Amino acid sequence: MVPKKWARRAVTRNTIKRQIYNVSAHFADALPCAAHVVRLRAGFDRKQFISATSDLLKAAVRSELEQLFDHAVATNPKPKTLAKPLAKPFVKALAP
């Protein structure tokens, strides 16, 4: 969630969302299968990040997201599956 309160321009909000999608795809295998919510809780200073899609903004967002996902992976490792595959298919043929 990227509220308008913290990122006023739609271009900035979309850039941040794209970074969230890219970084989360990178960590998808390491995270457990669940719904994950990423919420922007502080703004980015427009004096420091003049352009809405600057490389500096993308790098700052990406580094924060990588730290967040690293922490999430360290605290919630993906559980190993213990289920064994079925030896025979569970489908029965119907007699005519």
Between the CA of residue 27 and those of 3, 57, 67, what are the distances in Å? 24, 21, 11
Cα dist from 96 to 6, 66, 89, 90, 93, whole Å: 66, 59, 20, 19, 9
User: What confidence tens digit (pLDDT) does each residue in 46-92 have?
Assistant: 777 778 788 888 898 899 999 999 988 888 766 665 555 555 555 55
What's the pLDDT score for residue 90? Answer: 52
- Model pTM? 0.69
DSSP 11-48: HHHHHHHHHHHHHHHHTTTTS-SS-------S---TTT
Three-state secondary-structure class, residue 77: coil
